[in-house]
Structure 1
């Protein structure tokens, strides 16, 4: 199998290579609702201004065709992909590591609501330290779990949630460029749902915009240095919500799973880190199988891995094409796949 090398500093392959993504589909108790109740974004680009109204449900999203019926306590699955396809590529590629979250806001009419009502966080899969890693990019992240799960994340609608119309806001935040102000990349979509039940739970919420500030430590963040802690932006998950430990088996559930994460208790802490060759924390370079004989090494790992000196500096560009990060070794087919993103 023939393979090629991309030299450090070569920019011919351009900024058009980008592993951007959108939340596109929804499942309810394993039933595929496809795109029927999503306000689908116009493009797969992130919302980089967290002070704009676009941070609610994306920039001028398309209207949803319907509002999906959900019972309190049901398992919903949000699904993300880079393009308008559900197979054949990572859900969000290019070393776009960061937290995955979901919010709800109660509205009078899901079809017409503008997202200005208070939002409360019902799901989060953020970060966990990888004791074998040397920088934050080696750590366990929600988006790594998302890729392991084929673009899907399951969680339960709180069983005591008051009935009515809601917007469900799915979000993944890529932090690969977050070393500089406004470098974080939130990817957001809203789903229209109508919740049935007899509960009375009505949590207090936060406003979008307003819940995030560009200087929040979860948004202004350098993952290319050793990381001792990470706090996702926004409020804490409500007590009745679901919080998963990044890289844990609890995150590895798929649409139609027989058991969803409990909506009334947080995931327990694992006492041992998953194997770096089999867990959701495995890096792109580890996930891609490389040829054993004809592969040519990518740019010097010493230069490529050199981290910025402060949390406000951008990550080194060596070994990077656009916002994709190539594996240490790769073949022509893998490069073509990257270029299609």
Structure 2
């Protein structure tokens, strides 16, 4: 019985680990780039961030230290870019994309303070009359950079918030990676509102402390600031 219980626990742990994921590669001009060439390497493999007050929420565990070893991709304002996934998304929850403008070389930029702005978000779909999470099963995700985004160096941050256990307090899971990009061909937009990471979320935000099960939800509020897109 003890051996059987051990096998069951090991199997559940293995399934839980496989259900996790990271975003290892940037997609530019429709083509995935090599893993961690332009994406800052994270040291916690496919595990999520759980602490909303941790600086690891910014670019994942190890994501601030790995900047100097990361190259910077040239991307066009208004173009479609994206990220690959190491494993398919298996948890319900929204996808969000943030950017932070670096004062110089993005490899040394720690993106502290009110420097982040949201450029994209994708959440639950209620068009069928019941909740649907269309991101499940994705192996890559693409989105458009704002056409009026000013030229310069940026951190480009993707985040998936797993809310499958979020009916329990402090149980949302944050899967995060940051890429380094140099934006060209941009405009004179004024990105905002600017927020700090950590600091932009609260454990009681309705999109973070969220019950997907009963009573059946009739809405989902994506957390964080509004999307900037000019």
TM-score range (shorter-chain normalised) is: 0.7 to 0.9
> Is 2:110 the partner of 1:110?
no
Unaligned runs of 5+ in 1: 1-9, 83-90, 134-138, 241-341
Residues 97-121 of structure 1: CA distance to partner in whole angstroms, max 9, x if unpaired? Answer: 1101101110122111112141111
* Alignment length (residue pairs): 212
The SS at the match of 1:235 is coil
Q: Is the radius of gyration larger for structure 1 or structure 2?
A: 1
Deviation at 1:13, TM superposition (A): 2.6
Give the structure 2 partner of residue 49 of structure 1: 51
Q: Give the Cα–Cα distance (whole angstroms) in 2 for the partners of residues 216 and 98 of structure 1.
A: 14
Give yes or no for the alignment of 1:71 onto 2:51. no
Q: Distance in 1 between matches of 2:184 and 2:62?
A: 28
- Map of 1:217 onto structure 2: 206
Asked whether the 8 Å contact 2:125–2:134 carries over to 1, the reply is no
Cα separation, 2, equivalents of 1:16 and 1:130: 35
Give the TM-score normalised by structure 2.
Answer: 0.86
Deviation of the 1:128 alpha carbon? 1.3
Equivalence for 1:165:
153
Give the 5 Å matches for 1:89-238. Answer: 91-93=88-90, 96-108=91-103, 109-117=105-113, 118-129=115-126, 131=128, 133=130, 139-144=131-136, 147=137, 150-204=138-192, 205-225=194-214, 226-238=216-228
- Residue in structure 2 matched with residue 30 of structure 1 by the alignment: 30
Task: For residue 129 of structure 1, report the CA deviation from its aligned partner.
Answer: 1.8
**Aligned residue number for residue 86 of structure 2:** 81
Matches of 2:10 and 2:155, distance apart in 1: 42
Determine the C-alpha separation between the residues in 1 that align with 2:107 and 2:38.
9
**Alignment RMSD (CA, Å):** 1.8
Inter-CA distance 197–183: structure 2 relative to 1 (3 Å threshold): same
What is the match of residue 15 of structure 1? 13
Alpha-carbon offset, residue 132 of structure 1: 6.1
Unmatched tracts of structure 2, length 5 or more: 1-7
Q: 1:58 aligns with which of 41, 57, 60?
A: 60
